[in-house]
Amino acid sequence: MSHIVFYEKPGCGGNARQKAALRAAGHTLEVRDLLRTAWTPDTLRPFLHGQPVPDWFNRAAPRIRQGLLDPDALSADEALACLLTEPLLIRRPLMQCGPRHHLGFVTEAVHAWVGLGPSLATLPGSTGLEGCAHPHAHANVHTHADTNPHTDSTTPPPSPGAGRCASPPPRAA
């Protein structure tokens, strides 16, 4: 099968399920810490290429959930700057297989990209391998294998300054 470089957030239950699915399909993984990688525009862009800007973002990231950042309001340059400044905002996982790059883990897309084989039938929750393994931890964020992540009506509207990443949110004293 394939050798895949897999960028994850260490300790993420969703990434653990995704790695298990890839390994069960016979792929070998070189696991790297997405948050500690020294990203540059040149190293991150190949993962983002061809995807709509809002899809570059992890919708469960605290700044997005809290309405402090609105990915839908950002230009590509602004979004890239945000992701480079705050890697927690990057949609996970990032995967590379040879010269090919992949963003996120929509099961059907990953299967078409590298193949997941019959391993999906044996994994619990295999119909939704993208997103948090503990949905109750992000009660207002939902991810579906066949659609983009979205928020429900309990999500606060973006704050008036949302959409810009130039400065981090104020810290509580």
**Would you please indicate which residues are annotated as catalytic (active-site) residues?**
12
The Cα-based distances of 162 to 93, 110, 113 in angstroms read 25, 32, 34
| 16-32: b (≥16 Cβ within 10 Å) or e | ebbbbbbebbebebeeb
Could you give the CA distance from residue 101 to residue 68 in angstroms, rounded to a whole number? 29
- Contacts of residue 153, defined as CB under 8 A and 6 or more positions apart, other chains included, come to none
Please give the structure tokens belonging to residue 41. Answer: 């525009």
Could you give the CA distance from residue 120 to residue 143 in angstroms, rounded to a whole number? 18
Could you give the CA distance from residue 68 to residue 70 in angstroms, rounded to a whole number? 7
Of 8, 104, 5, 1, the C-alpha closest to 48 is 104
